[in-house]
Amino acid sequence: MSARKNAIEFWKEFEKVEHSIRDLLNRENYEECMELVEPLDSYAYESFGCHFFVDNAYGDYELTWDTGPNKTIQYLAAMVCQLAPQSIKKSWILNACLPPLSQKAIQAQVQIKDQIYTLTDFMLFYTEDETQQSWHCEVYCPGFSLITNPENKKEMSMYLLELALGQCAYEAYIGSVDFLDAPKMDESFCNLVDGYEKLMDHVETKGWKTYQSPLEIYSVFQPVQDFAHDSLRKDMKFIFTTHPLLIEETLEEKTDVLKDLEVKQGEFDYIYYNNLFNTREDALFRQELSKQFDQAFQKSECARVIGGAIGKSYSYIDCIVFDVHRFQSTLDQIKKQLDSKVKLHVQKF
């Protein structure tokens, strides 16, 4: 099996009960609906590392993957959405990560002592960081003063803010999150349920960079090492990635991220080749090559490009692979097309 085949199997089983799920959602029979969803959800969690939920709160059927910030899982969820049958894509809105103010957010409740609080009971205080294009946020709830453990309040604040903003906006624009036991008088604020609209108005007004997915958010690394070194992955001068933890761990020769994907029947690979120009042209050539690879890999449903690097001797294109055999076959076809320009190699992380 492969991660890709696991996704195909998921949709095959989902299609068997999809009509019944829609009928139960229409009749608001959520208990029986959950009985149909739970076996699929268990399979999804085992195969892709995340749960999903369904609803039709706004008149449309929605299936949402609750990935959290784990980039490996976000890529797997996006792959599952990509592989959905056309009949499902026509009938359902598929969210590869948590959208702002999802049904899960609307239904969220927090009990503090004997009082139940919903998202509407929380206030968001924020300061803008124009240099980093981010907000520093503090969340206030009247019940926070009754909680003695500050870590619990901070974790609750982060969780609720993520629910309110959705995964993409939370990762893209939130620089820090803390809690407040009492409201501030000298800081901008809004109700937490209005936070997404307020934030995106600010993003538009200030012309900040926008993202459609958390997988579009890149981080840049400049390893602290001797650049005289010219062996594989030791010569890197600039690294750009959508999966920072993968880079951090591999630089430190750790393997937790690699093993996590292996369990889910995928792998991280990198394509490399000798630099052709030893000038700025190397970066432009690598960028164009990366786009070409990503288009081909997504078309064959086998992988995604997740970043890369420019090194003293080599250039790198990093990939998350969902189907090793299809990936190798697609890569072989690209190699034939580029053989006269550059000699490509592939290596598992």
Query: So what's the pLDDT on residue 186?
Result: 84
To the nearest whole number, what is the mean pLDDT of the chain? 94
In DSSP notation, 142-171 reads: GGGGG---HHHHHHHHHHHHHHHH-HHHHH
Task: Report whether pLDDT(262) > 60.
Answer: yes
Query: So what's the pLDDT on residue 58?
Result: 75
Query: So what's the pLDDT on residue 229?
Result: 72
Task: Report whether pLDDT(231) > 90.
Answer: no
Task: Report whether pLDDT(251) > 60.
Answer: yes
Task: Report whether pLDDT(106) > 60.
Answer: yes
Task: Report whether pLDDT(22) > 80.
Answer: yes
**pLDDT tens-digit series, residues 195-212:** 999 999 999 999 999 999
User: Quick one: average pLDDT of 125-139?
Assistant: 96
Task: Report whether pLDDT(225) > 80.
Answer: no
Task: Report whether pLDDT(35) > 60.
Answer: yes
The answer for residues whose C-beta is within 8 angstroms of residue 107's C-beta and 6 or more apart is none
The Cα–Cα gap between 303 and 327 comes to: 7
Task: Report whether pLDDT(227) > 60.
Answer: no
pLDDT over 70, % of the chain: 99
The Cα–Cα gap between 274 and 316 comes to: 9
Query: So what's the pLDDT on residue 143?
Result: 92
User: Quick one: average pLDDT of 75-83?
Assistant: 98
Binned at pLDDT 50, 70 and 90, residue 222 comes out as: confident
Query: So what's the pLDDT on residue 158?
Result: 97
The Cα–Cα gap between 98 and 102 comes to: 7
The answer for residues whose C-beta is within 8 angstroms of residue 108's C-beta and 6 or more apart is 118, 119, 160, 163
Strands (E), 105-246: 109-112, 115-118, 123-129, 134-140, 174-180, 188-191, 219-221, 236-241
Query: So what's the pLDDT on residue 228?
Result: 54
Asked if 175 contacts 132 with a C-beta cutoff of 8 angstroms, the reply is yes
**pLDDT tens-digit series, residues 163-188:** 999 999 999 999 999 999 999 988 89
**pLDDT tens-digit series, residues 285-309:** 999 999 999 999 999 999 999 999 9
